[in-house]
Amino acid sequence: MASPAHLDRAVVEGVVRQLVMERLAALTRPGESALAVHASARHMHVSRSDLDQLFGPGYELTVDRTLYQEGNFAARETVTLIGPRSRLISNLRILGPLRSRTQVELAFTDAVSLGLEVPIRLSGDLDGTPGAVLMGPHGIVELKEGVIRAAMHVHMSRGDAAHYGVRQGDEMKLRVGGDAGLTFGRVRVRVADDFRLDVHMDTDEANACGLHLTKEIELFK
């Protein structure tokens, strides 16, 4: 399914979307934080020990491009994910920095193409999720669990949370206008001092709402 050419296009699109969304964000009323919306293509986060196994002991990720949230980056490194029926996703991008547990985030479309049943979970909530085999240039990791479809969520600072009147763990709504206009009803709130106001959705969700085309986006309780 994922030929290198496809992935390259996905990455290019990701960058274009990011630019579009950041431009949109600049239209926000003064006094509010600018709202950014990013579509995350399938990717993985990796633990120290799994990175050692995939790329060799002590290996360090190299930054391909920095992401919107401070300190996060898309690495140059990718792995091959092997699903239960020997179906592959090649060039699965690693995002840095390292995490305590390895986690693979797929869109539902990806999960179907692999033949995997993937639950919708918040990042880090991995107990009981399916596993997969990961193949790097140095070796293989048999991931027992950690494959999820990421629940849509919004990062925000305490100030933004106060502005919207929400707290960590609350749910908000995101209305996306345009020809494919729709409202996502379950956007989970994640609050941290250094978070920039930023909604993350997966590529299925972005494709459903025509995120790349839209001019009107609104986040509300």
Q: Which residues contribute to the site for a second copy (CB under 8 A)? A: 1, 3, 6, 9-10, 13, 107-109, 112-113, 115, 120, 151-152, 175, 177, 179-186, 203-205, 207-210
CB of 186 to a second copy, least distance (A): 5
Token pair listed for 198:
């930023």
Q: Where are the beta strands (DSSP E) in 26-126?
A: 36-40, 43-47, 63-66, 73-82, 88-99, 103-105, 120-121
CB of 123 to a second copy, least distance (A): 15
Nearer to a second copy, 55 or 184 (CB): 184
Nearer to a second copy, 18 or 47 (CB): 18
CB of 174 to a second copy, least distance (A): 9
Nearer to a second copy, 60 or 117 (CB): 117
Phi, psi of 102 (to 5 degrees): -75, 140
Side-chain-side CA neighbours of residue 77 (13 Å): 25
**Residue 98 burial (CB < 10 Å; 0-12/13-18/19+)?**
middle
CB of 207 to a second copy, least distance (A): 4
Nearer to a second copy, 95 or 209 (CB): 209
